Amino acid sequence: MSTDQNKALIRGYTDLMNQHNLDAAFANLSADFRTHNVPPTGMPGDIEATRQFFTMLFNAFADFQATLEDVIAEGDRVVIRVTGRGTHTAEFMGVPLASFRHPNSRRKVGSVPISPSGCGIDTESITERLCDETSKPK
């Protein structure tokens, strides 16, 4: 696949995730997909654990949306910088309801190698948590 096709694959995945359509988003992941992004909850980094994490995320942040700030491709790798935004409306991984919007909850620079079949096979990321202090409840 070309670098443009690889970037389009990541953009399509992000669009489906923004629709909270996990089945369609995960359809292009290879069976041996691994992520290093699943939070330390004891879950393995496979597709099922990733599905469980995003189900919890979407339940707690029903309006969650990711914005791709940068998409860079070289060979079989795509690197993204993404910002996630959502309103915290339910408990999330032990964090009680806060009822405030996280306008810049996370920026992630990740590397996604793409297999010859066009499937994402692994993710690695460097994550920096950000939060606009003015959005927190007093």
Q: What pLDDT score was predicted for residue 138? A: 40
pLDDT tens figures, 90-99? 888 888 886 5
pTM for the predicted model, two decimal places: 0.74
Percent over 70 (pLDDT), the chain: 67
Q: What pLDDT score was predicted for residue 120? A: 53
8-state DSSP, 20:
T
**Can you tell me the distance from the alpha carbon of 1 to that of 123, in angstroms, rounded to the nearest whole number?**
18
Mean pLDDT in residue range 105-121: 50
Find the domain containing 19 and state its range.
3-135
**Can you tell me the distance from the alpha carbon of 37 to that of 65, in angstroms, rounded to the nearest whole number?**
17
Residue 41 has pLDDT above 90, yes or no: no
CATH number at residue 39: 3.10.450.50
Pairwise pLDDT comparison (65 vs 33), residue with the higher score:
65
Q: What pLDDT score was predicted for residue 40? A: 59
Give the tokens for residue 28.
């292009």
Residue 62 has pLDDT above 50, yes or no: yes
Tally of CB atoms within 10 A around 61: 20
- Residue 112 burial by Cβ neighbours in a 10 Å radius (0-12, 13-18, 19+): buried
| Residues 43 and 56 sit within 8 Å (Cβ to Cβ) | no
Listing from the earlier edge strand, what are the strands of the sheet with 77-87? 29-35, 120-129, 101-113, 77-87, 65-74
SS3 call for 39:
coil
Number of domains in the chain: 1
Tally of CB atoms within 10 A around 96: 9
